[in-house]
């Protein structure tokens, strides 16, 4: 059953896992079909899901030798928040499908590892509870709702609960067609809700005869008319830094900078527009046009420490994990998410050392062969 607690044997299997792929396999085994479809699905034929991984593999490293790598520093900062290594947790809806502790487990693991969690608008846990568990290490992801007053209330609540940034998702005026969710009529189980935007009763009233409950609910929820001209309204609602998540072109990156926003390069994990460019392939042109005027982050396809340093070399301040954190959560709750982060931190340190780099500041495009 999806939300039962892992057994001692499963915790031991988690401790034996040596990479994120093995943790993914453990997590998948723990999920029922409804949850697995939701987490794993991409849009249409899944070309962009695959490209996110494959395009990392195509980039080669040019390591330097005979460098003193006896001491390696993996630390960085995002918007002034110190991170022990350049990896955070991306916003993903419905952590309760993976584990009873839901977003609380993810927040505790991220905070304990000196990382940062981004809480989804569609979390199964109220913002205030996650804010306490995150101990000052969380950002809040916003879908701009058609109900501006509700959006205003959510933004204010996030700020009051300790969010350090507002991450505005810009690539989802509609949800991409995730065919497994449509085919199997994805719906939240009755014990879960989305307390920021919907009660159990509201979700229960959404029909699933014609497809995914989330798609049918979402289509009447989000403001589809919001444009660059409306960012002034969003800025007026908060003093928090604003990060635009879903940027894939230099043109939009330039507009983001002009509007005083930071940039999150993302194609929504391949879940929106299939055959859209991968995040890592979009990063160079975005970094070139931004030219240090804003911070840049990236998600999509991260599975190894070498992926992390490739993204840093191309201009990202940090990367964020979507599915890998969920696989860890399903495999072992807080311990599972922590194990994902531990493995990746160790891989980042080793990749730096074997590349002849003492710290992240030394990582640049000279490390790469594209």
pLDDT in tens, 11-21: 899 999 999 99
Within 10 angstroms of residue 10's Cβ, the number of other Cβ atoms is 16
pLDDT for the residue 364: 98
For domain 8-61+77-356, say whether CATH 3.20.20.70 is its number.
Answer: yes
Report yes or no on whether pTM surpasses 0.75.
yes
State mean pLDDT over 81-99.
98
Residues designated catalytic: 268
Q: Are strands 76-78 and 81-83 parallel, antiparallel or unpaired?
A: antiparallel
Rounded-to-integer distance, Cα 48 and Cα 88, Å: 22
CA distance 346 to 327: 18
The residues near 153 (Cβ < 8 Å, ≥ 6 apart) are none
Q: What is the mean pLDDT of residues 236-252?
A: 98
Q: What is residue 195's predicted lDDT score, i.e. its pLDDT?
A: 93
Q: Residue 7: pLDDT above 90?
A: no
Chain centroid to Cα 26, Å, comes to 20
Structure tokens at 71: 């001491």
The predicted pLDDT at position 308 comes to: 98
pLDDT for res 215? 79
pLDDT over 90 (residue 8): no
pLDDT on residue 216: 78
Q: Which of 270, 288, 289 is nearest to 278 (CA)?
A: 270
Reported confidence tier of residue 212, pLDDT bands at 50, 70, 90: confident
What is the predicted pLDDT for the residue at 179? 92
Q: Please state, for a pLDDT cut of 90, what percent of the chain lies above it.
A: 87
Q: What pLDDT shows up at residue 9? A: 85
- Whether 335 shows a pLDDT value over 70: the answer reads yes
> Would you mind telling me the total number of residues written for the chain in this entry?
370
Q: Provide long-range contacts, Cβ within 8 A and 24+ apart, for 34-38.
A: 34/2, 34/97, 34/184, 34/186, 34/187, 34/189, 35/2, 35/97, 35/98, 35/330, 37/178, 37/180, 37/181, 37/184, 37/186, 38/94, 38/97, 38/181, 38/186, 38/214
With 80 as the cut, is the pLDDT of residue 122 above it? yes
Q: Looking at the predicted structure, is the pLDDT value of residue 199 above 60?
A: no
Q: Which residue has the tokens 């919907």?
A: 198
């Amino acid at each position: 059953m999806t939300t039962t607690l892992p057994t001692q044997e499963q915790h031991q299997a988690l401790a034996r896992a040596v990479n994120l792929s093995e943790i993914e396999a453990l997590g998948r085994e723990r999920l029922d079909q409804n949850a697995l479809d939701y987490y794993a699905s991409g849009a249409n034929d899944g070309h962009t899901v695959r490209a996110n991984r494959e395009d990392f593999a195509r980039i080669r490293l040019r390591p330097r030798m005979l460098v003193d790598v006896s001491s390696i520093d993996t630390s960085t900062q995002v918007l002034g928040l110190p991170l022990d290594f350049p990896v955070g947790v991306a916003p993903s809806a419905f952590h309760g499908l993976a584990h009873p502790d839901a977003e609380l487990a993810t927040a505790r693991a991220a905070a304990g590892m000196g990382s940062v969690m981004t809480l989804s608008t569609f979390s199964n846990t109220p913002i205030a509870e996650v804010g306490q568990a995150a101990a000052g290490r969380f950002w809040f992801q916003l879908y701009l709702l058609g109900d501006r007053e509700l959006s205003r209330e959510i933004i204010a609540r996030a700020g009051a609960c300790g969010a350090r940034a507002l991450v505005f998702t810009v690539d989802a005026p509609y949800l991409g067609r995730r065919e497994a969710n449509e085919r199997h009529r994805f719906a939240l189980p009755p014990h879960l809700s989305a307390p920021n935007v919907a009660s159990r009763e509201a979700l229960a009233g959404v029909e699933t005869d014609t497809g995914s409950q989330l798609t049918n609910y979402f289509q009447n929820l989000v403001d589809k008319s919001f444009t660059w001209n409306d960012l002034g309204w969003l800025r007026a609602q908060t003093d928090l830094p604003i990060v635009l998540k879903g940027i894939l072109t230099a043109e939009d990156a330039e507009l983001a900078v002009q509007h005083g926003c930071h940039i999150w390069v993302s194609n929504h994990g391949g879940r929106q527009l299939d055959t859209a460019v991968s995040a890592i392939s979009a990063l160079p042109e975005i970094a070139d046009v931004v030219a240090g005027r804003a911070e840049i982050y990236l998600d999509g396809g991260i599975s190894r420490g070498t992926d992390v340093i490739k993204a840093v070399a191309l201009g990202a301040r940090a990367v964020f994990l979507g599915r890998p954190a969920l696989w860890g959560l399903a495999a072992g709750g807080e311990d599972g998410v922590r194990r994902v982060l531990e493995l990746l931190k160790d891989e980042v340190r080793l990749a730096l050392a074997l590349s002849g780099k003492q710290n992240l500041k030394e990582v640049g495009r000279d490390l790469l062969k594209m």
